[in-house]
Structure 1
């Protein structure tokens, strides 16, 4: 079992402090979310609200979202081993060219430590404000993946789709990781599971129970086998909020989870102490680093 840290919603100096200490302690990765616009009012249903939460307390307009690629580029210069993940980039909100440039830049600057988490998005109002059609986001997502694959690996990219039309173009530099950094798809919908199984290197679930994750893994295994991808390396990560006890860790590990992404603090000022305490409480996972080996 590996452990990543969700950096939201830390202040700028706390982002650096937590990332540097996490690397020293032996954490695997840090994860930064993305939203471009957070409307003051929305009627969208937040898909990751906790039990009994309407969602508007968990997601509101004043949440401090930084540009994830800028944050991860900065952290790349302050770390040397830590994996750097965006969780998740809302691909249909953007053109694939800016995403490709950002991904290649961070992956190059970090020496191949970048993880590209991707999702379709759930906040209809964000799409409307940015002039993007919400209903067609799935098709635009799939076509953007086609374009990203080509930009990352081909000398010349040309594409003719329903949503995207790309004349011959080229992009340099390519990512340090070839043919591209790991694609990790977030979400629990059928479309998200399809993309993870047929195009992904990993799946990121959010606040699902071990039993729910186990069902998801079985679904992914069936889809991957049908696509002839069962031999392709694949990681399952789960973002877990709240207290993460050893019993909880063992339950997730037993159903096949490779990584838990945690945020074991309530106040950002206590974040460094909280990740130290978590590592000490689960030192058998962190022992090689904590002992200096």
Structure 2
């Protein structure tokens, strides 16, 4: 099982360079970074985990800039967003960032996408909350058109792009899909288990990024059935539990479900505390 990590990198934590170097030297598989562009202080949306919103949410580094620094000082570890709030991005600009990062890192990038929980944050980006799921799907469609080997147009009701020259292309090659190849980096979709989410993952994703990993004994077989019923190869499904606080029993359960990659949560802390946590996690490598 590959053991990756995630952390809220901020202006107060360990730096991307130091963390990436330590992860590679210690044998960890990758680094996933979350995203919040800003947190309106007048927000009304409750924090999903309950209680006050942790300080780090309003201080996160831009994940693409931080991952670019990590890519520059490593050769092996995977680099991923966990997650990119896709409805809050211009898809043409996001496609360029993702393709450039994948190209410069030699194909090491994973695009984790999600649809957010903070209504006020999304509203400042002009996002109609009730349409964000469809908006995200169509914006990913624009991105995949730009990643195609030949100039390809995408014409959606909420997002579109003309057939265009757009380079660099991602290093990762297209994957088979019943509706046509999926271009660009491996794309994992976040969200709580539900039939609607599983249909969404099957329609345009490479797999699922479930937070915490609870309930997977029931959910993973359901997702696999949806995947196979849609004509997708079961060997190509990626389920990657995210922000996991590990224990030997938990990781054994994941392995029994056929899960091959897990993302462990690191504290949003200074270098000393983060490195001590990596020392503790070394038993799972």
Scaled by the length of structure 2, what TM-score is found? 0.88
- State which drifts further: 126-135 or 106-115: 126-135
| Residue aligning to 1:201 | 206
The Cα offsets for residues 117-157 of structure 1, whole Å up to 9 and x where unpaired, read as 01122211112112221111111111112222211114223
1:270 Cα deviation after fit: 1.4
Report the secondary structure of 1:238's partner residue.
coil
CA distance in 1, matches of 2:160, 2:249: 51
Give the gaps of 5 or more residues in structure 1. Answer: 287-293
**8 Å Cα contact 1:9-1:63 kept in structure 2:** no
Give the gaps of 5 or more residues in structure 2. Answer: 175-183
| Residue aligning to 2:192 | 188
RMSD: 2.1
2:248 corresponds to which of 240, 246, 255: 246
The Cα offsets for residues 182-226 of structure 1, whole Å up to 9 and x where unpaired, read as 0111111544322222322221111232xx112221221111012
1:238 Cα deviation after fit: 1.0
Q: Is structure 2 residue 266 aligned with structure 1 residue 274?
A: no
| Residue aligning to 1:213 | 216
The Cα offsets for residues 95-128 of structure 1, whole Å up to 9 and x where unpaired, read as 2101100001101110110001011222111121
**8 Å Cα contact 1:7-1:15 kept in structure 2:** no
| Residue aligning to 1:98 | 93
Change beyond 3 A, Cα 1:240–1:12: closer
| Residue aligning to 2:26 | 25
CA distance in 1, matches of 2:198, 2:42: 30
CA distance in 1, matches of 2:164, 2:243: 41
| Residue aligning to 2:181 | none
Report the secondary structure of 2:162's partner residue.
strand
| Residue aligning to 1:289 | none
CA distance in 2, matches of 1:189, 1:130: 27
1:256 Cα deviation after fit: 3.0
1:253 Cα deviation after fit: 2.0
**8 Å Cα contact 1:153-1:178 kept in structure 2:** no
Scaled by the length of structure 1, what TM-score is found? 0.85
| Residue aligning to 1:235 | 238
The Cα offsets for residues 227-253 of structure 1, whole Å up to 9 and x where unpaired, read as 1003451221112444x2212221222
**8 Å Cα contact 2:241-2:263 kept in structure 1:** yes
